[in-house]
Structure formats: structure tokens, C-alpha cells
């Protein structure tokens, strides 16, 4: 079976790194409306699923022979009034052959979900550029439950601001720690942000994960409950530079060498057999 990443014509900023990982890993791509659904050798991987997907399936999917995978990189507990996880799956599960998620705890929430590691690639980032200018960066939208810990961090530490392109690259290469706070309460990881941290050799400080596999707390990342994140960030930033660098190197090794993006996809494809 031949994996082909079916990309939406609408480009979402939050999927920039996903698309970059696809390109860096050398996978074939097409747009969603270009999927040849009669090609029995093809496994089309779609993420995100938007309004481009169903019309193409309805127009060209009769007696479909290609395999379809929805790689669901969205959180399982969206803010109201969005539908709960089960309702989202009920609508899409009958249309695809597999639904991948990239957090092992997430995969336990519904039997229709299959865990696939979202690894990284060295080309997604670059080694640190010395001297480091910022204490932390989070590269996320601050609202709701993220506000208190990030505001607390800002009061004491120098922040590298959110950015894209060359500006973001400059921030990430000049920052000591990547800070990760969940957008919603589920203790589910943010695999694309973890892949980014790994590629830049950045130590990762995150709100608690129920299951970080293939990452291990205390080896590849630092973790604390939401209220304890500012104190944990302080602890990590006051730790000696070699110790911090060792965590960044361990994360890089885990996701950019051992569990790469390509390996995760290939393992996922094998699970369809």
C-alpha cells in the first residue's frame, strides 16, 4: 500500500508543521479533491477533514477501492458548543478505514481510534543559536485556562513571542525552554508542538500528560499539573544549562532519530493490513 497525504486546499496555520513534516519525510501528496478513490494501491491520509472531503467522496467514492485514513490531530474535548468526541466520530467513522490519533491515552477513549506516533524530522528545526535571548516560548494562542500560567511566566521570565516563518525560527533557536499548556482540560498531548520542540533541541515543560508515549516524563520532558506549571518552569530555568540541554537532546533523539514522522506513518500503514 502506498501512503499519499491528501492536503486541504485551504491552508491552516496550525497545520504548517504537519505539512512540513510530510514534505521533509518524502511522502507523496495531492489535494483532497484529487484523490483517486478507485486506486486500490493507495492509502490516502487526510488531516484535517474539512468541507472539501465529503463532496469529493460523494462524487467519486462509489465502490471505493482506495483506503482512507483520517489523522485526527484535534483535541477530544473541544469547547462548547462543539460536539463531543463521540458525535464527531459517528459522522466520519463510516467514511474512512481508520482514524489515527497521536496520543495513546486519547486512543483509549473510543475503540474506533488507533494510536499512531507523530514523530519529527531534523529538518523541521535547527540547533540552538547562542547566545540565547529568551527564557521560554509557547507558540500557542493564549486564552482560557492557558492565561494564568503563561501570565505568571511572563511576569518573571523573558518570553519569545509567537511567530511564523523566519521570525519563529529565530525565536525557537534563541529560547531556553518550550512551554506547553493544554487548550482544554483533557490530559492529552500536543504532538505537533512536541515534534517542533524536538527538532529545535528544546527542553519541553508541559502540563501533565496521562500517557506521553513514546516520551517518558523525567527523561524526555518535564511535567506538572496546571497550577504547578509556573513553579516547574522556574525550576527548569534555574537548572544548569547542561542539564537542560540534555533534556533537549533526549527529546531530539526520541522523535527525530528513533520515532521519526516517517516511521510513525509506516507503522500506521502496516496496522491496516
Provide the mean pLDDT of the chain.
Answer: 95
Residue 81 has pLDDT above 70, yes or no: no
Q: How confident is the model at residue 179 (pLDDT cuts 50, 70, 90)?
A: very high
DSSP the chain: -EEEEEE-SSPPGGGHHHHHHHHHTT-EEEEGGG--TT-TTEEEEE-S--TTHHHHHHHH-TT--SEEEEE--S-SSPPTTSPPHHHHHHHHGGG-SEEEES-HHHHTT-TTEEE----B-GGGS----SSP-EEEE--S---GGGHHHHHHHHHHSPBPPP--HHHHHHHHTTEEEEEE--SSSS----HHHHHHHHHTT--EEEE--S--TTS-BTTTBEEE-GGGHHHHHHHHHHS-HHHHHHHHHHHHIIIIIISBHHHHHHHHHHTT-
Q: How confident is the model at residue 1 (pLDDT cuts 50, 70, 90)?
A: confident
Residue 69 has pLDDT above 70, yes or no: yes
Residue 190 has pLDDT above 90, yes or no: yes
- The pTM for the full model equals 0.96
Residue 262 has pLDDT above 70, yes or no: yes
> Tell me, what's the pLDDT at 84?
73
> Tell me, what's the pLDDT at 86?
76
Which of 128 and 263 is assigned the larger pLDDT?
Answer: 263
Amino acid at each position: 500500500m502506498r501512503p499519499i497525504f491528501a492536503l486541504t486546499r485551504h491552508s491552516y496555520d496550525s497545520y504548517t508543521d504537519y505539512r512540513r513534516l510530510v514534505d521533509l519525510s518524502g511522502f507523496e501528496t495531492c489535494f483532497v479533491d484529487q484523490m483517486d478513490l478507485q486506486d486500490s494501491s493507495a492509502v490516502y491520509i487526510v488531516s484535517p477533514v474539512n468541507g472539501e472531503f465529503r463532496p469529493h467522496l460523494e462524487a467519486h467514492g462509489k465502490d471505493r477501492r482506495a483506503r482512507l485514513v483520517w489523522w485526527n490531530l484535534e483535541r477530544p474535548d473541544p469547547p462548547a458548543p462543539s460536539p463531543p468526541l463521540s458525535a464527531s466520530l459517528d459522522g466520519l467513522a463510516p467514511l474512512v478505514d481508520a482514524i489515527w490519533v497521536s496520543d495513546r491515552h486519547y486512543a483509549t477513549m473510543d475503540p474506533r481510534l488507533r494510536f499512531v506516533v507523530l514523530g519529527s524530522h531534523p529538518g523541521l528545526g535547527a540547533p540552538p543559536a547562542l547566545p540565547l535571548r529568551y527564557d521560554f516560548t509557547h507558540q500557542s494562542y493564549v486564552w482560557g485556562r492557558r492565561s494564568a500560567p503563561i501570565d505568571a511566566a511572563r511576569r518573571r521570565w523573558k518570553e519569545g513571542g509567537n511567530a511564523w516563518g523566519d521570525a519563529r525560527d529565530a525565536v525557537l533557536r534563541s529560547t531556553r525552554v518550550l512551554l506547553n499548556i493544554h487548550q482544554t482540560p483533557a490530559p492529552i498531548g500536543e504532538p505537533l508542538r512536541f515534534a517542533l520542540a524536538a527538532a529545535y533541541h528544546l527542553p519541553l515543560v508541559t502540563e501533565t500528560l496521562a500517557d506521553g508515549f513514546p516520551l517518558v516524563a523525567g527523561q524526555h520532558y518535564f511535567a506538572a499539573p496546571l497550577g504547578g506549571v509556573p513553579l516547574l518552569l522556574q525550576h527548569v530555568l534555574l537548572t544548569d544549562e547542561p542539564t537542560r540541554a540534555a533534556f533537549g537532546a533526549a527529546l531530539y533523539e526520541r522523535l527525530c532519530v528513533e520515532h521519526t514522522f516517517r516511521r510513525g506513518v509506516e507503522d500506521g500503514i502496516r496496522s491496516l493490513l
